[in-house]
Amino acid sequence: MSDVLLLIAGDELAEHCIGYDRAQYPYLYIRHGKKFYKPYRNYFSCNKKDRIWEELKDAGYADSWSEEDYGTTTYFMTRKGLDWLGNYLDVIIRDCK
């Protein structure tokens, strides 16, 4: 999948993963004219493997772990993925707490 198609398909999932879809102070702030976001979470759980998340993972933007006992897969954004999303949103995304 091209980077552009991946962005269109994966940006909402990635934003939700780090809580950006509900961004507000103190997590989203401006300092010296630049926007910053400090995620309060960095995970997205699914009952099965998700095609879009697997594409993000293949591109190096996300990683995952599986809970075999519960049959779930949890995805999280890598530093490369946070930078990729930050470039799209025009915000500097810090590491999760």
Cβ atoms within 10 Å, residue 82:
24
Residue 48: CB atoms within 10 Å: 8
Q: Print the domain residue range for 46.
A: 3-93
User: Residue 51 sits in a domain of what CATH number?
Assistant: 1.10.10
Task: Please report the pLDDT score of residue 18 as a whole number.
Answer: 92
The tally of domains found in the chain comes to: 1
DSSP character for 34?
A: E
pLDDT of residue 32: 94
43 in helix, strand or coil?
coil
Per residue in 23-82, pLDDT (tens digit) is 676 788 899 999 999 998 999 999 888 889 999 999 999 999 998 788 899 999 999 999
Q: Note the pTM of the prediction, 2 decimals.
A: 0.85
Report how far residue 68's alpha carbon sits from residue 2's, in angstroms, rounded to the nearest whole number: 31
- Side-chain half-sphere of 34: how many Cα atoms within 13 Å? 9
